[in-house]
Amino acid sequence: MSVESKSMSIIVTKGSLDWGYPPFILATTAAAMGLNVTMFFTFYGLSLLLKEFNPQISTLGNTAMKLPMGGMHMSMPNMLSAIPGVDAAASVMMKNLIKKKGVASLEELREAAVDSEVRLIACQMTMDLFEYGLEDMIEGPELGGAATYIECATQSDINLFI
Amino acid sequence: MADEVLDAKGLNCPLPILKAKKALNSVPTDGTLEVLATDPGSVADFQAFCRTTGNDLVEHDQTGDVYRFLIKKTA
């Protein structure tokens, strides 16, 4: 392949349903296009590697968030997030939309990343901080720290922080 | 007639590309893969995919809502 030597790294810092998509979409697509891909999971991004995986969206701070509903777009005021069950309901709505529109589930994309040999690094420091072990994670991630990432970044053509 | 046909209709980005890449693995070199998709974004994406991977996008056209791509595996 013409780009066999190209590579990309992504720092994944967020673990909500909506923030989980961009890193996995880009990682799997780049791998399909022949790039060597490394994803470095830190802070809340770590939760995307958990076996027990139920990513949610929150209406809090999502000021531009609008979900299609009955031909209209319904905005989600921050205040709504304080009502118990609203974020869970919004997450269910989003997951139904995802299915209806033929969008891959995050689980599917995560599997595709593992299958296409994307290198997954779990940040050791945040693993300790949040009291996770590799046994909590899917098969595949290795442990590493900032220096591991920096070494990878110096060798990558594309470096993203998401 | 293409060596392999991939029906990616109803699938959204990036699934048509991911499935095409997988399907290409079982196509022999200089063989062809036909992809059918309904994602309008796939028109730009299959061109970029082929330019980047070095495969040949022999032809692409549209019939109604369905886009058809014929990819020759050269890489």
Q: Residue B14: is the preceding peptide bond cis (ω within 30°)? A: yes
Identify the pLDDT of residue A109. Answer: 95
What lies within 8 Å, CB to CB, of A61 at 6+ separation is A78
Identify the pLDDT of residue A73. Answer: 87
Mean pLDDT of A98-121: 94
Residue ranges per domain, chain B? 4-72
3-state secondary structure of A111: helix
B50 in active site: no
- CB neighbour burial string for A73-110, b if at least 16 within 10 angstroms, e if fewer: eeebeeeeeeeeebbeebbebbbeebeeebbbebeebb
- Give the number of domains in chain A: 2
Residues in B touching A101 (Cβ below 8 Å) = 12
Beta-carbon separation of A29 and B10 below 8 A: no
Q: Which of B21, B25, B35, B49 should we substitute to test contact with A (largest number of A Cβ atoms within 10 Å)?
A: B21
B48 pLDDT exceeds 90? yes
B16 pLDDT exceeds 90? yes
The ipTM value here is 0.86
In B, minimum Cα distance to A115 occurs at: B22
| A 71-130 residues with CB < 8 A to B | 101-104, 112, 116
Tens digit of each residue's pLDDT (9 = 90 or more) over A27-45: 999 999 999 999 999 999 9
Stronger pLDDT, B33 or A88, i.e. the higher one: B33
Instruction: Give the structural domain span for A30.
Output: 7-55+105-161
Beta-carbon separation of A101 and B12 below 8 A: yes
Q: What percent of chain A has pLDDT over 70?
A: 98
* A2 vs A9: CA distance, rounded Å: 19
A1 pLDDT exceeds 50? no
Q: Domain B4-72: which topology?
A: Translation Initiation Factor IF3 (3.30.110)
Task: Give me the amino acid identity at B64.
Answer: G
Identify the pLDDT of residue A4. Answer: 57
Identify the pLDDT of residue A2. Answer: 45
Residues in A touching B18 (Cβ below 8 Å) = 28-29, 32, 104, 112
What value does the mean pLDDT of chain B take?
Answer: 95
A77 pLDDT exceeds 80? no
In terms of domains, do A93 and A109 share one?
Answer: no
A137 pLDDT exceeds 60? yes
* A99 vs A84: CA distance, rounded Å: 25
What pairs with residue A39 in β-bridges? A10, A120
Q: Which of these, A112, A117, A128, lies nearest to A46 by C-alpha position?
A: A128
What lies within 8 Å, CB to CB, of A150 at 6+ separation is none
* Residue A40 located in a structural domain: yes
- Specify the pTM: 0.89
In A, minimum Cα distance to B21 occurs at: A32
In terms of domains, do A35 and A14 share one?
Answer: yes
Nearest to B18 among A28, A34, A101 (CB): A28
In terms of domains, do A72 and A141 share one?
Answer: no
DSSP secondary structure letter of residue A79: G
A3 pLDDT exceeds 70? no
* B8 vs A29: CA distance, rounded Å: 15
B4 pLDDT exceeds 90? yes
Residues in A touching B53 (Cβ below 8 Å) = 1-3, 33-34
* A132 vs A124: CA distance, rounded Å: 9
The two tokens of residue B50 are 């082929």
As a whole number of Å, the end-to-end CA separation of chain A is: 28
In terms of domains, do A48 and A17 share one?
Answer: yes
- A52-66, A101-115, B10-24: which range is least confident on average? A52-66
* Residue A1 located in a structural domain: no
CB contact, 8 Å: B75 with chain A? yes
CB contact, 8 Å: B44 with chain A? no
User: Positive or negative, the Cα torsion across A138, A144, A149, A154?
Assistant: negative
A113 pLDDT exceeds 50? yes
